[in-house]
Structure 1
Amino acid sequence: MATASDDMTKLSWRRFEDGDNVWDKLTDKIFVQDTSHKCPTYVHKTPPCQGSCPSGEDIRGWLQIVRGLEQPPKGMTWQEYAFLRSTDANPFPALMGRVCPAPCQAGCNRNEVEDFVGINAVEQFIGDTAIANGYRFPAAPALSGKRIAIIGGGPAGLAAAYQLRRMGHASTIFEANTALGGMFRFGIPGYRVPRDKLDAEIQRILDLGDIEVQFNMRVGTNITIEQLEKDFDAVLWAIGCQSGRGLPVPGWKDTPNCVSGVAFLKAFNEGRMKVTAEKVVCVGGGDTSIDVVSVARRLGHINRTGQSEVPERVIHDGYVAHDAVTAAKAEGATVTLTSLFTRDKMTAAEHEVHDALYEGVTVLDGVMPLEVLKNAAGRAIGLKVADCTVQPDGRPVAIDGTERVLDADLIVSAIGQGGDLTGLDAMDNGRGFINADKFFQVPDKQGHFVAGDIVRPHLLTTAIGQAWVAAQSVDAYLQDHDQPKRPKIDVHHFDLLNKLREAELAPESFSPAERGDLRGTSEGNWAVHNFEDRGSAEVIPHDELFLGHFNYQPRRVRQEEVPSAEEVLGHFKERVIGFTDADAVAEAKRCMSCGMCFECDNCVIFCPQTAVYRVDKSERTTGRYVATDYAKCIGCHICADVCPTGYIKMGLGE
C-alpha cells in the first residue's frame, strides 16, 4: 500500500545514500584504512549567520540564550542576558531588528532544511524587551585619561563612542545636525524606526557617561582639523554620506523639482515636508528608493500649491516648512519607482518591494532613465525612460523602440550617496570619501581613524561593525601597541574560557616551571579537555552538519500592518508587530547551533562503546556538555556522523 502524501515527511535529506558503505575509488579505500586510530575532538566553528553579519554579532549565542539552552548567571533573567550578549557587538537591537536587511538570514544553514531562522524578529524582541524593562549596559570602566573626537553622531559614531567607553576612553561627538542618529533619524521614516525606540537606544549609550555631544558643529566650518588634533588624543571620522547623487542624464542639473532621495527623506524626517507632488517618479531600486516612494504615498499632494508649498522648496531650502493645515488637505499621489535591474536583482529587500506594491506604488523594473523633460519655466514635467539590459560590467543599454515618458511633478534620484567633505580637503581621497586601511586608520594621518559610509556606502550594520574595529585600533594607538593581526573571521566569537569563568568553572592556572612538562595529560584541570576553537578561521558549511536530525518546522513570520493603496494616505503607524516571549523562544529553537554542541545527546546514545559521556552537571556549561573516554573509543566515527551541528570531528590522533 502506498503512503498517503499527507503522511509523508517534507524532508527526504539523508547523510548517506544506499550503497554509500562501498568506496567508489580504490585510492580512497586505501587512504582510509589507517583512520581507525582517530577519535573525536570537539571543534567550535563560526556559524554562517555570524560570518555573514557585518556587525559580527554572536547570533548563535543569543539565540541559544533565548531558547533556554545557555543559562544566564545567577540573579539575571534570560531576557537581560540575551540583551547583553547581543549588544556586545551592536548597541541597537531594537532598531536593527526592524531595518537591517539581514544578510545573516541569507547565510543561515537552516535554508538547506526549509527556511532561515527569523533572526531579525528575535533581535527586535530582545531590543524592545530591553527598552520596556529598562535594561542598561554594565557600568563602564575607569577612565583612561584619553579623549577621542568623534565626527558624526550616526550609527558609526555612536557605536564607536559605545565601544570606546567600554575600553575606558571618553569621547566628544561633533554632530552637524540638531539631534543624534544620522541615517537612523534622518534617512529612515519613523514608521520603520519608531523615534521612542531610537531615542531610548541612543540614551542608553550616553548613560555610560563621559560621552559629550556638541550639536550644530561642522568640522571644517565651525572647528578646524588642526584644533581637533590639538585638543584630542585621536580623531575618528564617522560623518556618513549625506549627499545624494543626481541622475546622470540631460536635464537633471539645476532643475528645481529634481531632488535626491537623501534630501527628500531628510525633509520628511525633520517634519518640514508634509505633502509631496501629485506625480512622483523615483529612480532607484534599493532600500532608500523604497522609503521615498512609501513616504510619497503616505504624504499625498494638495491642489493649487503656493510657491512656498511646493515640495522641492521645502526640500532644498532647509528652513521653509509645510504646516499642519496643508497636510490636512492632502489627496493621494501617483508614485512610480523605476529600477535598472529586474525585481529579482533589485537590492531592496523583497518584502519591502512587495509592501510598496500593496501600498499602491507602480514599480517598473528593467528600465533606465534617458532624459528629464522640462517646460518653458524650467521645471521638470516628465522623465523619458526605456527598457534596458544590464551588461556584465554593470552598464545599462537601452532597448530601441521602448522609449516612453513618465509624467512627473517631482523626480527623485535614489541611486547612491556621497560624502560632503566641504572644508575637509585634507581628508578627501579625490572621490568624496575618506581612505581607510584594514584597521580603519586613515593612511598617512597618524591619530586619525574612520568608519561607516564615508569609507564606502553600505549597510547600517556594516558601519557599526567598522566602528568596533576602528575603536580597537584607536585603543591600540592610545596605548602605543602594535596593531594585532585581525582574524580571518573577524567577528565577536563565543569564548569558552570566558563562559567557564562566568560559571566559576575556569581551569586552574598552570606554570611549567612549577609543575614540569605535562603536555599530553588529560588528568589535570589546567586546560579545556580536547576542545579546539577554529571560530576565527573557519565558517561551518551546511554539508558538515547532519541535516537529517532536523524536522520540518515553518518559520514564525512577524505580523505586519501594511496599509493598502486605499488606506495608505496619512498612515504613519509602525508596520511591524513584534514577537511575544513565546514566539521568540519558539523561533530561536529553530536555530541549528551550527558549529557548537546543543546537547541533543545523539553522540552519547549512538556510541557503541559508551566512550562518549555527558560531563558531570557540576562541571557542565555551554560548549562543555560531552567528553570522550579515549580508553574505550575505537574510532568508529559514529558520533561524528550523527552530530547535527558538525561539532564533533574525528581528529584526535592525526
Structure 2
Amino acid sequence: MSAYSAPDIRAGRLGAAEIAANFNDVKPPLDHKRALVESNRCFYCYDAPCIEACPTSIDIPSFIRSIAVGDAIGAAETILEANIMGGMCARVCPVEILCEDSCVRNHSEDKPVQIGALQRYATDALVAAGKQPFVRAPLSGKKVAVVGGGPAGLSAAHRLSRLGHDVTVYEAKPKLGGLNEYGIAAYKTVHDFAQTEVSFILALGGIHVETGKALGRDVSLEDLRRNYDAVFLAMGLGGVNALGAEGEDLQGVEDAVAYIAKLRQAKDKTSLPVGRKVVVIGGGNTAIDIAIQSKRLGAEDVTLVYRRGPTNMSATHHEQEFAQVNGVKIKHWARPVKLYGHQGAVREIEFEYTQLDAQGRLMGTGEKFTLLCDTVFKAIGQTFVKDPVNGKAKDILDLTNSKIAVNEDFATSIKGVFAGGDCVESGTDLTVQSVADGRDAAIAIDAYLRGEG
C-alpha cells in the first residue's frame, strides 16, 4: 500500500469567474436562423422512426415542420401535448440513443437532424412568450393524491388536472422537480430551468402542493386512500446501494446523488468543498455527472472505475466521451475491494480486476491495484425504499424485483392505487420515461374514476 498523504478537500479551488464558465450551459440554444436551417433538414417522414424511438411519442416531424414555417409556439404545443416536460427532456434526454439515433439521416455520409435542440428552441419560445396552451376540462368532483413531485408525479398531476380532477401533490423535499431539480448535472439545466418548468405546469391550476411531506412520515397510504378517490405513487428511489467493501464508512466516502443535490442547491459553487484526488465508482449517468462536476469544481485528478466494459455502462457512449474530454479518466473491468484510511478519512482504495467467466458471470481475477484518493463517490445505483409503503401499512403492495408491481394500466395490487416512474419496473431510468409513465397512468386513473377502467 502506498504512503498516505494529507487530505486535501477544500472549497474555493477555482475563482467565481472560472466556476461560472465551467457551469454555464453545456449546449447553447439554437438561434432563429440556425433553427430554421436545421428544421429544413428534416424529411418529415410519414412513418417516422424518430416517433417510435421517443418514449413519449412526440410527433417530431409535425413540430419540426411548424418551426420551419415560423410557428415555434405551435411546435411547442405539439411537443407539450405528448410530453409536458418537453423543455427539460430537450436538455437531458440521451437523444443520441433515442430519436436522433433513429433519424433516417443518421448514417456515415450525413448526420441526424438536431431534434433535441429544435425541441428546446420551440419550448423555450413558448416559455418566453408566457403562453399557457392548456385548459382544464369541466370539474369531475374527484380528488387524486400524487406522492412525489418529480417527472412522473408532475406529469400525472398535470394530465389529471387537465382531465378535470383536483390533485394534491405530496413531496418530501422543499421543492418540486425530483431529479430534475436535485439530481441532474448543473451544466445541463442552467438558470433555474427546473423551477421554471414546475411553475409552468402548476399554472394550469387545480394542483395543490404539499412540500416537506413524506409518505410514511407525514402521511400514510391508508389516509390517502381514505381521503382521495385515487392515489398515484411516484416517489422514485430513495435508497442508495452500498459498495459492500470494507472501509466504505470512512470520512470522504460520499453518496454521489446527495452531493449533486447539494451542488444544485448551492447559490455559490465556490463554497463547495472538493477533493484533489477523486475516485467515482459506477457506470451510469450519475457517475458521469459527479465525475465531470468534480473536475469542473477544481479536482485535480478524477478517475471513474466501473466493474464491466464500456458497452455495459448505462451511461451512453456520448456521455462517456464527454467525461473524457473533460479530463475524467475511465477505468473498466475493476471492482472495489477495500478502502484504506488515516485518522478516519479515506486515503486509498484497492480494486480487483474483473472478467467474465465461461457462463458470462462477473468474477474477480485476483490481480489488484490501488488508487490514492481523498474523496470517493458512490454512484452504483439507487434502490426503492419499501418501508414507507409496506413497513407499517395495513394493506401490502405487491413488489416485483424490489419495486412496486403494476399492470399495463399502472394499477398496483391495491384497488385505486397506481404507481409509475422509477419506483416501478419500467425498464429504463430516464426522465422521459417517467414523464410517459405519469401521463399514461393519469389516463388510466381517469378511466378508473369515471368507472371505465
Name the counterpart of 2:235. 239
Q: Deviations 1:620-647 (Å, cap 9, x if unpaired)? A: xxxxxxxxxxxxxxxxxxxxxxxxxxxx
Q: Give the aligned partner of residue 52 of structure 2.
A: 51
- Which SS does the other structure have where 1:148 is aligned? strand
| Per-residue Cα deviation, 1:67-119 (whole angstroms, up to 9, x for no partner) | 33xxxxxxxx6111101000011112221111101212222232246332211
Which residue of the partner structure matches residue 174 of structure 2?
A: 178
Supply the RMSD in Å over aligned alpha carbons.
2.2
1:570-649 equivalences in 2 (<5 Å)? none
Match in the other structure for 1:554: none
Structure 1 residue 95 and structure 2 residue 66: aligned?
no
Q: CA deviation at 1:154?
A: 0.4
The aligned counterpart of 1:39 is none
Q: 1:285-341 CA deviation, whole Å, 9 max, x = no partner?
A: 2211111011211223xxxxxxxxxxxxxxxxxxxxxxxxxxxxxxx4321111234
Could you tell me whether the CA contact under 8 Å between 1:149 and 1:235 is conserved in 2?
Answer: yes
Aligned to 1:325: none
2 CA distance for matches of 1:392 and 1:139? 59
1:284 corresponds to: 282
**In the alignment, structure 1 residue 369 sits paired with structure 2 residue 369:** no
Equivalent residue letter for 2:287: S
The CA deviation at 1:234 is 0.3
Seen in structure 2, the aligned counterparts of structure 1 residues 392 and 99 have a Cα distance that, compared at 3 Å, is farther
TM-score by length of 2: 0.82
* Runs of 5+ unmatched residues, structure 2: 1-44, 391-395
Larger RCO (alpha carbons 8 Å, 6+ apart): 1
Which residue of 1 is the match for residue 244 of structure 2? 248
- The question of whether the paired residues in 2 share the 8 Å contact of 1:294 and 1:359 is answered with yes
Contact 2:403 2:424 in 1 (8 A): yes
Aligned-partner residue type, residue 437 of structure 2: Q
Instruction: Give ranges in structure 1 of 5+ residues lacking alignment.
Output: 1-43, 69-76, 301-331, 483-654
Query: How far, CA to CA, are the matches of 1:428 and 1:299 in structure 2?
Result: 43
1:127 aligns with 2:123: yes
Would you say the 8 A contact 1:244–1:263 is kept in 2? Answer: no
- Alpha-carbon deviation of 1:424? 1.8
Rg (Cα) greater in structure: 1
Task: Say which of 119, 132, 150 aligns to 1:136.
Answer: 132
1:91-240 correspondence to structure 2 within 5 Å: 91-102=84-95, 103-112=98-107, 114-240=110-236
3-state DSSP of counterpart to 1:109: coil
Quick check: 236-245 or 347-356, which moved more? 347-356
* Alignment-derived partner of residue 437 in structure 2: 466
Distance (whole Å) between structure 2 residues aligned to residue 176 and residue 470 of structure 1? 21
Higher helix share: 2
1:215 aligned partner, one-letter code: T
Aligned partner of 1:343 among 304, 310, 313? 310
Q: Distance in 2 between matches of 1:407 and 1:375?
A: 10
Q: Which amino acid aligns with 1:205?
A: I
Whether contact under 8 Å (1:246, 1:260) holds in the other structure is: no
Give 3-state SS (helix, strand or coil) of 1:227's partner: helix
- Normalising by the residue count of structure 1, what TM-score does the alignment of the two structures yield? 0.57
Q: Which amino acid aligns with 2:339?
A: L
Q: Residue 414 in 1 paired to residue 379 in 2? A: yes
In terms of fraction of residues, the more strand-rich structure is: 2
Name the counterpart of 2:29: none
* Range with bigger deviation, 111-120 or 211-220: 111-120
Whole-angstrom distance in 2 between the partners of 1:380 and 1:432: 32
- Percent identical pairs in the alignment equals 30
Q: Which amino acid aligns with 2:88?
A: L
What corresponds to 1:605 in structure 2? none
In 2 relative to 1, CA 56–215 (structure 1 residues): closer, same or farther, beyond 3 Å? same
Q: Aligned equivalents of 2:406 and 2:46: distance in 1?
A: 29
**Corresponding residue of 1:271:** 266
Structure 1 residues 409-437: Cα deviation after superposition (integer angstroms, max 9, x where no partner): 22112121112333321346275421111
Q: Hey, what's the Cα distance between the residues in 1 that align with 2:234 and 2:380?
A: 21
Residue identity in the other structure for 1:387: Y
Counterpart in the other structure of 1:352: 319
1:382/1:407 contact within 8 Å kept: yes
**Residue matched to 1:396:** 362
Matching residue within 337, 342, 348 for 1:382: 348
Contact 1:367 1:385 survives alignment (8 Å): no
User: Corresponding residue for 1:320?
Assistant: none
The answer for the alignment partner of 2:78 in structure 1 is 85
Structure 1 residue corresponding to 2:407, chosen from 412, 437, 443:
437
Q: Which amino acid aligns with 1:84?
A: E
- Residue 213 of structure 1, CA deviation: 0.2
Cα offset for 1:200?
1.8
Is the CA contact 2:245–2:339 (under 8 Å) kept in the aligned structure 1? Answer: no
Contact 1:186–1:266, Cα closer than 8 Å, also in 2: yes
Secondary structure at the aligned position of 1:189 is classed as coil
In 1, the alpha carbon distance for the partners of 2:357 and 2:258 equals: 30
Between Structure 1 and Structure 2, how many residues are aligned? 396
Matched, 1:259 2:228: no
Structure 1 residue 47 displacement after superposition = 2.3
What is residue 424 of structure 2 aligned with on the other side? 455
